[in-house]
Amino acid sequence: MRQKRVCALMLAAVVAAGVFTGCGDKKEDASTGIATNDGTETGGEAGASGDVVELTFYNADGEEDPWSDPVAEKLTEATGVKLKTDYPVSSDDQKVALMIAEQSYPDLIYAKGDAGSLIEAGALMDMTDLIEEYGPNIKKLYGDEFNKLKHSQDDPAIYQLSSYNVGGEVFKHSGTAQMQWDVLKANDYKVPETLDEFETMLKDYMAENPTTDDGHSTIGLTLSASDWHWMITLGNPAGYIADGAPDNGQWLIDENNQAMYKFRSDKEREYFKWLNKLYNEGILDPEFATQTHEDYIAKIASGRVLSLFDTDWDYSDGEKVLKADGKFGKTYAPLPFTMDKETKCVSLMYQGLTTGQGVGISVDCKDPVAAIKYLDYICSDEGQVLVQWGIEGVNYQVDENGKRYRTQEEIDASNNDKDYSKKTGVGFHNYPFPYYGDGIVDETGSTYTTKSRESVVAEYDEEQKAACEKWGVELLTDIFPQAKEFEVPAYSPIWAYAKPSEFDEIGNQLDEIAWSSLISCIIGSESDFDASYDKMLEELEGVGMSDAEKILTDIVQERVSIAE
């Protein structure tokens, strides 16, 4: 993401040099809202009169949306707003950079990691006054975390509404490491608690099962490190497993809110030294640094790979193949794995509201009031139920106690039909807009999302059910340290912050050095590891590691002050 941001800024500068720039006309047409059941106002004059305002929307994580599904039609009926969505067409898309260069913006923008560039360019509107006048549901949804939406102490504007969950519980998580169910069963469902235990379980199973049933050699552990996935499978796990640190990207934040580039950590150094040992002993896939991500997924799908350090959204395509073939024992158990018994797995920890990436209203928006009312409707109970559950009597039913439920037929359709969301609109219009987290209930006692303890358990396969019975738990995540065991940090997850370009330029260089150097450390001889790691630290310091740490420390401490 840092690479894209730097490229975006460079492209913006180049294009701006040859473009005659100008500011778009702006108008703020006040309108009357539509009353919901709880009396709060949602929607606008257009919704009440039948007139429709078409707002342009750039979604950095989007896909084609003709706005013709049943939920989209209901959204327009309730708000008088229709969204015309634009989205990236490739991974190196530079639409945000061009917007900045031309100073021409869509009405609504979700720029993801490029949000900081838009804020620096003055492209996003301060929504504070609009929310105060038209956003009661926005304020209700964010509750005690509302102030975290403010950009900074010097600039307390609200430029974005977070695209991530507000509160909630974690019923399903891939943990810090994943191991095939077959390996766990061979060890009587023992959960490894140290590096040595993890290593021994892999070695013993590989000795007994050197090949798969179809003759492929067994791989103890593989990673995907030939592209940006290195951050997911090589960088992130080091923090989780070695330091017991929550997801703050490439950074560690200590109890005094001091930031440190994570690869300085002595414990992470020890973790990478362990990977170096596994590589030299043939446990770690020799192709981990050169294989494409497609190769990585194909190996998982073959059933050869005994363990991963990944996250489920990244490896799920491989698991789907295994499940379709009925090879559930070759799918993966989520584990709360750390390098020693003193380090606690933080997978279920709530890090507080994720800010820095969200939906904003641009300074060129043709109707800011309609835009904020649309966003407020999404945040209302009625809007949340519509985008998460769908339409009553069609996608969900209501029982005699007033609680929502889905028929088994609807559940099966949502799980098995890859086009379910596009056809129905259910779950298609909720992201990247604000939403309540899993497990939070409305006044009917129903959860805002369709995910609950009961729904997760109902979807468990034979391997997952057997493990729960063996461990004496209801959910697989019940064996993890629970969220209540951790304090919620006063700062938001660092990876999502909109940071100054000065910091991102240094951070990009740090990550480029770390990526190649960590791989070199792992594939080198065991005797060369320490010298290679020291060389990496010297190179990191040479491009400004300490400077970046100071900048980020100031940002974190400022965010803590805002939250207080």
Domain boundaries, given as residue ranges, for the chain: 2-168+354-389, 177-347+499-563
Which residues make beta-bridge pairs with 260?
A: 252
Cα separation, 441 vs 452, in Å, equals 10
Domains 2-168+354-389 and 177-347+499-563 agree in fold:
yes
The answer to whether the beta carbons of residues 137 and 435 sit under 8 Å apart is no
pLDDT in the model for residue 416: 80
Amino acid at 36: T
Domain 177-347+499-563 coded CATH 3.40.190.10: yes
Q: What 3-state DSSP class applies to 53?
A: strand
* Per-block mean pLDDT, blocks of 10 residues, the chain (564 long): 40 40 36 38 50 96 95 98 94 86 98 92 98 98 94 94 95 97 98 97 98 94 98 98 96 96 98 99 98 98 98 94 94 97 96 95 98 99 98 98 95 88 96 96 95 91 97 98 94 88 94 99 98 99 98 93 78
SS3 call for 475:
coil
Token pair listed for 331: 């799918």
The CA angle 31-87-52, to the nearest 5 degrees, is 25
Q: Do residues 481 and 336 make contact, with C-beta atoms less than 8 angstroms apart? A: yes
Chain centroid to CA 223: how far?
19
Instruction: Count Cβ neighbours within 10 Å for each residue of 5-29 and write b for 16 or more, e otherwise.
Output: bbebbebbeebbeeeeeeeeeeeee
What pLDDT is attached to residue 49? Answer: 56
Q: With contact defined as beta carbons under 8 Å apart, do 232 and 337 qualify?
A: no
C-alpha torsion 486→491→492→497, nearest 10: -150
- Helix/strand number for the chain, H first, E second: 23, 17
Q: Is 530 helix (H, G, I), strand (E, B) or coil?
A: helix
Q: What is the pLDDT of residue 69?
A: 98
**Was domain 2-168+354-389 assigned CATH 3.30.830.10?**
no
d(CA 291, CA 224): 7
Count of C-beta atoms within a 10 Å radius of residue 387: 24
Q: Rounded CA gap, 46 and 27, in Å? A: 16
Distance CA 111, CA 121 (A): 13
- Tell me if the bond preceding 210 is cis, omega within 30° of 0: no
Given this model, what pLDDT does residue 498 score? 80
Provide the pairing of β-strand 251-253 with 259-261: antiparallel
Which residues in 89-121 are b (16+ Cβ under 10 Å) and which e?
eeeeebbbbbbbbebbbbbbbbbbbbbbbbbeb
d(CA 130, CA 214): 63
